[in-house]
């Protein structure tokens, strides 16, 4: 019984629980206000939001941001920032399309494997480049990744001549597989998001590397005195961010059937917003993969609510910007509150001694 109570207290005190409640509250509000329409196939009245097509599409929209937000969260936990994820997304997508075009027709399995390998490979190289520049130049990650954001997108623009490139239909067939659902429902991106969230959670909480990332972001000097390989940790977190951007590019280009150098513009806002709203602290040492996924879902739900309720879509940027500010303020407030509690508890122990 004591263990059950401890688990309940942990869940109630978890940032992910509060974020889940916010997501559910927003979904409930949308369900109440969205109205209904007649389904063309069945002739029945269905809710404009609470229906399988809208829910799967919302999850699909969130999946690309969520996968990248998991990688961005790893970077933010280490105390860094990655502004180049949108550019890596674009470069990985167009590199995959160009490679498949150059090689020519392949079997469906070979096309998928080659496309995935190219997208992940380009994403990994870009991530390692970011990490190596941060470590080698000793320049703040904001400046480094701001520069590589422009460089990588420029490379994508040059190698494609600003053209939109089609990807083989075999890739689209995989990412748009119905998996038995039918009715135009494509759950593959959503399932990939869930798998990556589970993998990210295990990586951060159950591996030595994950614990080192938290230690690095939480207390740099203590990590140095503990003998951690700080350079390797920094390069590693940017490599993870690049890999997740490459995977998102593979899914996005395959799902929509094409890729261009303009893809992913503005994704930096959504990805960092998802990570911060999901509980990642910009000063480092705090964050989770589950929070990143929930943050991405919340951001997409905000976008969905603006469309569903027929508000001016220009308000989307205002709302998301406010969400970032509120999330950072709440994080700072909770950090200060926790520090005060620790100080009071230490004073009480000293007085008792």
Cα distance between residue 48 and residue 38, in whole Å? 9
What pLDDT was estimated at residue 204? 93
SS3 281: coil
Q: Which CATH class is domain 63-339?
A: mainly alpha
What pLDDT was estimated at residue 222? 81
DSSP 86-143: HHHHHHHHHHHHHHHHHH----HHHHHHHHHHHHHHHHHHHHHHHHHHHHHH---HHH
What pLDDT was estimated at residue 305? 82
The DSSP secondary-structure symbol of 47 reads E
Query: Token match 């309720």: residue?
Result: 309
Query: Token match 């180049």: residue?
Result: 84
Asked if residue 271 lies in contact with residue 65, where contact means CB atoms within 8 angstroms, the answer is yes
What pLDDT was estimated at residue 324? 75
Neighbours of 189 (CB within 10 A): 24
Asked if residue 148 lies in contact with residue 129, where contact means CB atoms within 8 angstroms, the answer is yes
Q: What is the pLDDT along the chain (353 residues), one digit of tens a residue?
A: 556 555 555 555 566 787 888 888 888 888 888 778 777 777 778 888 888 888 888 889 899 999 999 999 999 999 999 999 999 999 999 999 999 998 877 777 889 999 999 999 999 999 999 999 999 999 999 999 999 999 999 999 999 988 899 998 899 999 998 887 776 788 999 999 999 999 999 999 999 999 999 999 888 888 888 778 889 999 999 999 999 999 999 999 999 999 999 998 888 888 998 998 888 888 888 899 999 999 999 888 888 888 777 777 777 778 777 877 877 777 677 767 766 776 776 667 676 66
Question: Which of 302, 229, 215, 248 is closest to 72 using CA atoms?
Answer: 248
Cα distance between residue 293 and residue 58, in whole Å? 13
Question: Which of 321, 330, 187 is closest to 251 using CA atoms?
Answer: 187
What pLDDT was estimated at residue 91? 96
Cα distance between residue 266 and residue 73, in whole Å? 17
Can you name the residues that pair with 36 across neighbouring β-strands? 47
What pLDDT was estimated at residue 13? 55
């Amino acid at each position: 019984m004591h263990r059950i109570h401890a688990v309940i207290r942990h869940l109630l005190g978890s940032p992910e629980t509060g974020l889940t409640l916010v997501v559910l509250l927003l979904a409930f509000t949308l369900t109440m206000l969205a109205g209904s329409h007649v389904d063309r196939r069945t002739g029945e009245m269905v809710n404009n939001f609470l229906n399988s097509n809208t829910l799967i599409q919302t999850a699909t929209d969130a999946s690309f941001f969520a996968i990248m937000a998991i990688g961005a969260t790893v970077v933010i936990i280490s105390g860094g920032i990655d502004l180049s994820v949108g550019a890596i997304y674009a470069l990985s997508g167009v590199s995959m399309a160009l490679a498949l075009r150059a090689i020519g027709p392949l079997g469906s399995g070979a096309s998928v494997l080659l496309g995935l390998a190219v997208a992940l490979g380009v994403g990994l190289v870009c991530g390692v480049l970011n990490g190596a520049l941060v470590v080698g130049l000793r320049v703040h990650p904001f400046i480094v990744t701001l520069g590589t954001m422009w460089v990588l997108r420029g490379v994508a623009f040059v190698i494609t001549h600003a053209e939109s490139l089609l990807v083989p239909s075999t890739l689209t067939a995989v990412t748009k597989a119905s998996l038995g659902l039918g009715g135009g429902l494509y759950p593959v991106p959503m399932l990939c998001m869930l798998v990556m969230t589970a993998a990210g959670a295990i990586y951060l909480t159950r591996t030595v590397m994950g614990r080192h990332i938290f230690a690095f972001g939480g207390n740099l000097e203590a990590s140095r005195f503990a003998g951690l390989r700080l350079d390797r940790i920094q390069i590693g977190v940017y490599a993870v961010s690049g890999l997740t951007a490459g995977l998102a590019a593979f899914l996005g280009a395959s799902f929509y059937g094409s890729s261009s150098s303009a893809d992913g513009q503005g994704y930096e806002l959504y990805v960092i917003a998802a990570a911060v709203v999901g509980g990642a602290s910009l000063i480092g040492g705090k964050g989770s993969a589950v929070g990143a996924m929930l943050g991405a879902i919340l951001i997409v739900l905000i976008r969905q609510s603006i469309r569903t309720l027929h508000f001016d879509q220009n308000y989307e940027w205002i709302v998301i910007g406010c969400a970032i500010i509120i999330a950072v303020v709440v994080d700072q407030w909770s950090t200060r509150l926790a520090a005060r509690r620790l100080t009071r508890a230490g004073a009480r122990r000293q007085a008792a001694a």
